[in-house]
Amino acid sequence: MKRSLPVVITTLTILMHVFCASAQQPADTTAIGLKVQEMKEISITGVRSLKGMGHLNDVVDGIIYAGKKTEVLLLDSIDANTAQSNPRQLLGRLPGAVFSETEGSGFPSNGIGFRGVSPVQSIETNTRQNGYNISSDLFGYNEAYYLPTLEAVDRIEVIRGAASLQFGPQFGGAINYIIKQAPADKVFEFNTEQTAGSFGFFNSFNSIGGTYKNFSYYVFGDYSTATGWRPNSDYRQFAGFARLQYKFNDKLKLGVEYTAMQNRIHMAGGLDDAQFDADPRASYRARNWIATPWNIAAITLDDKINEHTSLTWKTAYTHSARNLVWRNEDGGPGTLDTINPSTEQYDQREVEREQFDNITSEARITTDYNLGATNNTFAGGVRFYYADLGRQEGGIGTTGSDFNLSVDSFGTMLNFTTINVAPFFENVFHVTSKFSITPGFRFEFIHSTVSGFTNDYGGPTVPASGVRNRYLPLAGLGLQYSTTRTTQLYANISQAYRPMDYDAITPLGSTSAIDPHLKDAYGFNSDLGFRGTVRSYLAFDVNAFFMLYDNTIGLLSLTDSTTERTNVGNSIHAGAETYVEFFPVRLLTTSDKYGQFSFYNSFSYVHAKYIEGEFKGNFVANAPQFIERFGATYAIRSFSATFNFSYTSSCFTDAPNTVYNPDDATVGKIPSYLVMDISATYKFLKRFNIKAGINNLANKSYFTLRTDEYPGPGIIPSAGRSFYVGIGARF
């Protein structure tokens, strides 16, 4: 792979020369996939794109993005396996995105991380739907157990580290899934997509939507099931969404939304290294299950107060749960779950339950004003957040193999609450018509409590109580310079913070010990980049980044072959991210007679090392140095096909940089892996489409995760080669 890096660099250099030669010529900004005029499209979506990926405008929906690194994926213009939410095909264009592919092995959704932070359940990333929070607990378990059905998603917005000022103090940035709007020119529209594939996979997606006078609606339901690539990895899931919106006039719009998800997942368990090498499809657990019912209700208000000032308000209430029944794998994955000779039955399983209730309310106001000869923009707001999390664990369950949460009592019962109040503001000062400076500030007040008791898995019962307040000022600065009408230089620096969450202090279903002296993490993110488009044939975004992450939480191998979660040291994450999308035919001709060919290259280099502490000089866990992804698309008339190539270099999973531990599969290297996918779409009779593809074309055996928690512990294998085909219609 290292030999291919000069090829990447050479390609980028050639493309930059092409750009420089064209930069002085008139340029266009277009977006494909939305049949509207250019300026109208920008005002609606705030996206600048040639095809699959672009970036956000300076101000969108009351949020300032000037000077920040942003990316937007337009899903309708990408050949991808949306029915199975394949992250490589859908999010692989994002430079440096690392995925934990766990959806088929027990975690309800694949996680994502950037720049060397943990991707597991997107713990370091602020995850949103239509601009509001959908994670389990922002400061307790900021994990994404629910992700929107991607067949219903219009676009995905990603904001890197500088998102901390507008969305919260997280290091990993923010990702926002925007659900499709109701058709504005129809009273009723029906859309259906039916997809089947290998290993018993079937997905049925159906939606209705329309607009009547000032009233609009959009509703979808999605059912998915599979027997699984491994034994004991079957699942079934239903997700639904409904939006009702009323437009009082051209200025005021009110909407209500409801999201529901119910799933039941059979967990095949983790493997140790020897088991994975012998047969990655093997499963030695048949009695492990998880279910995560999810409910989110939201109210949104958009008010254009006058020509210069607008107000947005979003409030979301989450009532959700995580229910686990399993045979806790004492001794690691090598300890088999078999019949106990003394009782002639299986041992009793453990039951663990969590209830998430939280409400997030964010109000934002944006106003444009003149200062001298330039127009400037102020955006400010406040977030109020309240969360109540109830945890029950250590329950002695049944000896059966089915999904059964029956239990007499729990050994541990804890209740966590969090109150968060966070005012924030940013202001775009246009020094000239091309150059802007954007300072910003956010203040976080966090009030946390814990109550209840724990018996530490059979030990003495210990009462738990505590209160903690945090007062966190966060500042940032963004710079942006328009080199041409469609190209920009941008730079930013923003402080970030991550409190000790409940998952670190009292992890659910973990085999690791917990350091009682854990500390909060803090630091900052910074970017320097160049992005834009050249006519209709080239799009690019090239940037360097630097992140300081103090008090990094990680795993430490102990002398008794167990692991401990602790602060392993301060770290720096520095590197480069590049994205190039090129349409060579458009460079030569405007004719589509022979179709269009395009390719993209997404590359990142991350140098993440500890700079202080016992492990100074070691690599940060779960931070691969090189990620190279390449995709090529050919489209002619109503047919398009895309080939994707994805390479991720090896990484360590603990601070000591353990290469291999025969006694503990939760630590050790994650080897490099190269995975290829192919997908195609054919549209016919204006209303119908057929989609088909192959995931993991070469049937590569690989894994993206070692874990000390469920669905392990140990290695969680990724799925091998699979096929899918689907048919859709719109009426």
What tens digit of pLDDT does each residue of 478-503 get?
Answer: 999 999 999 999 999 999 988 776 55
Instruction: Give kind and range of the element (H or E) at residue 633.
Output: strand 626-636
Residue 342 burial by Cβ neighbours in a 10 Å radius (0-12, 13-18, 19+)? exposed
Model pLDDT for residues 259-271, shown as the tens digit of each residue: 999 999 999 999 9
Q: Report residue 521's pLDDT band, with 50, 70 and 90 as the boundaries.
A: confident
Looking at residue 39, what is its pLDDT? 39
Q: Residue 477: what pLDDT?
A: 96
Q: Is the pLDDT of residue 600 over 60?
A: yes
Share of the chain above pLDDT 90, in %: 62
Q: How confident is the model at residue 27 (pLDDT cuts 50, 70, 90)?
A: very low
For residue 618, what are the CA distances in angstroms to 90, 568, 569, 571, 614? 32, 11, 10, 9, 9
Average pLDDT over residues 598-611: 95
User: Which pLDDT score, from 0 to 100, does residue 467 have?
Assistant: 87
17 pLDDT more than 60: no
Name the token pair of 607. Answer: 């140098």
Per-residue model confidence (pLDDT) at position 51: 67
Q: What is the pTM of this model?
A: 0.89
Q: What token pair was written down for 179? A: 């659900």
Could you report the per-residue pLDDT of 314-366, keeping only the tens digit for each?
999 999 999 999 887 666 777 778 888 988 899 999 999 999 999 999 999 99
The mean per-residue pLDDT over the stretch 170-179 comes to 92
As a whole number, the mean pLDDT across the chain is 86
Looking at residue 553, its pLDDT comes to 73
**What percent of the chain is modeled with pLDDT above 70?**
87
Assign 509 a pLDDT band (cuts: 50, 70, 90).
very low
Question: What is the Cα 589 distance to its own chain's centre?
Answer: 38
725: left (phi over 0), alpha (psi -120 to 50) or beta: beta
For residue 173, the tally of other CB atoms under 10 A from its CB is 27
Specify the higher pLDDT residue, 302 or 338. 302
- DSSP-derived 3-state class of residue 584: helix
> 614 vs 148, which has greater pLDDT?
148
* pLDDT attached to residue 5: 41
306 pLDDT more than 50: yes
Q: Please give the DSSP secondary-structure letter assigned to residue 510.
A: B
Average pLDDT over residues 173-189: 94
pLDDT given at position 288: 92
pLDDT band at 202 (very low <50, low <70, confident <90, very high): very high
Neighbours of 251 (CB within 10 A): 12
Check whether 409 has a pLDDT greater than 90.
no
Using pLDDT thresholds of 50, 70 and 90, give the confidence band for residue 248: very high
Question: 620 vs 566, which has greater pLDDT?
Answer: 620
3-state SS of 414-467 is: EEEEEEEEEEEEEEEEECCCCEEEEEEEEEEEEEEEEEEEECCCCCCCEEEEEE
pLDDT band at 6 (very low <50, low <70, confident <90, very high): very low
Q: What is the mean pLDDT of residues 20-26?
A: 38
Q: What is the pLDDT of residue 515?
A: 64
Mean pLDDT to the nearest integer, 529-551: 93
Distance CA 718, CA 701 (A): 7
The number of beta carbons lying within 10 Å of the beta carbon of residue 111 is 26
pLDDT above 80: residue 469: yes
Alpha-carbon gap, residue 630 to 128, rounded angstroms: 27
Residue 559's pLDDT is what? 59
Query: How large is the average pLDDT for residues 419-424?
Result: 96
Residues 630-647 have pLDDT tens digits of 999 999 989 999 999 999
At residue 145, the pLDDT reads 85
Return the residue matching tokens 């592919």.
101
- C-alpha–C-alpha distance, residues 64 and 57, integer Å: 8
Q: What's the confidence (pLDDT) of residue 135?
A: 87
Largest Cα–Cα separation, the chain? 87
Tokens in use for 318?
């989450």
Residue 560 has pLDDT above 60, yes or no: no
Q: What is the pLDDT of residue 61?
A: 86
pLDDT at residue 327, as a whole number: 84
Per-residue confidence band for 124, with pLDDT thresholds at 50, 70 and 90: confident
Give the per-residue pLDDT at 142: 77
Domains contained in the chain, CATH given: 2-730 (2.40.170.20)
User: How far lies 678's CA from each of 76, 302, 640, in Å?
Assistant: 17, 41, 11
Name, of 22-36, 558-572, 693-707, the range with top average pLDDT: 693-707
Most confident of 71-80, 674-683, 705-714: 674-683
